[in-house]
Amino acid sequence: MAHMRVNGRRVNIPSFLIKQGDVVEPREKVGISIQYVVRSNVSNQKQMPAWIHVDSENMRGVVQALPKRHDLTMPFHEQLIVELYSK
Cα-to-chain-centroid distance, residue 63 = 9
Cα-to-chain-centroid distance, residue 26 = 10
| pLDDT of 1 | 44
Q: pTM for the complete prediction?
A: 0.65
The pLDDT tens digits for 52-85 are 888 877 778 899 998 888 887 778 788 888 898 8
Structural domain for 58, as ranges: 4-85
Number of domains in the chain: 1
* pLDDT band for position 44 (cuts 50, 70, 90): low
The one-character DSSP state at 17 is P
Q: What is the CATH number of the domain that holds 53?
A: 3.10.290.10
